[in-house]
Amino acid sequence: MEKYDIIIIGSGPAGLTSGIYAGRQGTKTLMIDKGPAGGLGLEVPMMENYPGYEIIAGMSLIKEMKKQALKTTPLKEMEEILSVQPNEDNFLIKSNKGEYLSKSIILCTGNQHRKLGVKGEDKFLGRGVCYCATCDGPLFAGKKVFMIGGGNTAVQEAIFLKNIGCDVTLVHRRDELRADKYLQKKLETLNIGIIWDTVVEEIKGEISLETIVLKNVKTSQENEVEAQGIFISVGDIPINKLAKELGVNLDQSGYIITDKFQKTNIPRVYAAGDITGGYKQWVIACSEGAVAAMAAYDDLEKIY
């Protein structure tokens, strides 16, 4: 069985940064991701708040980070970790492809998209219902789409959809947006329409999405509108299954609790990035990933 000093589970911005730091420290480290490396980073259309770049697409930055991490740290993609258990002074890590032993673990498993939970949402997934504008948006150029949500991600994605030629309208359940002011200004400049105080009641169609039923939360009035696409961005759910199994302490929302060295309550288990809650930002995921790798190294020094 392959043995490591550090196994990093998840290779989004947090995991890749942990990989860069851990590899350069000389520890025997492996990064594993159930998808392609990049995580939610791959979905970021254009980022304007990552230091050093006035504007950069998530995919481009991931490509560079991956190249840098791979210089010192191997990566296994399309391999899902199914369980992690303490095993004497190691952790036994089982994936859908194999088993590993590691002295320490850095959990960088991020979040998954929250669903609306309305009728038709699952039925039309991939046939009009989408959770990632960067991935699926180009299929809807020239088509009528709705973006559901009011935070930074929803507004960024609405702007992206408009820029690639979609006829996009934002639907938000409140009467003001949570998104940063500079993003709201862009919405205005691009003349992207907003339907306020409104939620989606149902998603309808035959083979693919045809209409969505909107409901005004103040008047309770319902309105069925034609749509070829609906993009949903209404929050995230932490991917904490492995953390739970390990007995890692979570907060009320299911995010991993860490100290300032990214240590969890379980010795030699660290966590970094969106899975630790708080501000979900690229630069924060990177910085936590770096701290976790450095702390893991320091703790390994004590046991060797």
Ligand X SMILES: Cc1cc2nc3c(=O)[nH]c(=O)nc-3n(C[C@H](O)[C@H](O)[C@H](O)COP(=O)(O)OP(=O)(O)OC[C@H]3O[C@@H](n4cnc5c(N)ncnc54)[C@H](O)[C@@H]3O)c2cc1C
For residue 19, give Cα distances in angstroms to 16, 102, 238.
Answer: 5, 15, 21
Which residue in 8, 20, 30, 47 binds ligand X (CB under 6 A)? 47
Nearer of residues 225 and 237 to ligand X, judged by Cβ:
237
Which of 26/235 has CB closer to ligand X?
A: 235
SS3 112: strand
Q: Give one DSSP letter per residue of 254-274, joined into a string.
A: SPBP--TT-B-SSTTEEE-GG
Query: Does residue 259 have an active-site annotation?
Result: no
Single-letter residue type at 14? A
What is the DSSP code (8-state) at residue 39?
Answer: G
Residue 122 catalytic?
Answer: no
Cβ proximity to ligand X: between 105 and 242 the closer is 242
Give the x-and-dash track for 278-297 against ligand X (CB under 6 A): --xxxx-x------------
Q: Which of 22, 30, 40, 187 binds ligand X (CB under 6 A)?
A: 40
Q: How many other CB atoms are there within 10 angstroms of residue 68's CB atom? A: 16
User: Taking CB under 6 A as the criterion, which residues in 94-153 touch ligand X?
Assistant: 108-111, 153
User: Residue 52 contacts by C-beta under 8 Å, 6 or more apart in sequence?
Assistant: none
For 56, which DSSP code?
B
CA angle 244, 245, 247 (to 5 degrees): 65
Q: Based on CB atoms, which residue is closest to ligand X, 203 or 242?
A: 242
132 is catalytic: yes
Find the binding residues for ligand X in span 18-37 (CB under 6 A).
Answer: 32-35
Active-site positions?
Answer: 132, 135-136
The footprint of ligand X (CB under 6 A) covers 9-15, 32-35, 39-41, 43-44, 47, 49, 80-81, 108-111, 153, 156-157, 239, 242, 273-274, 280-283, 285
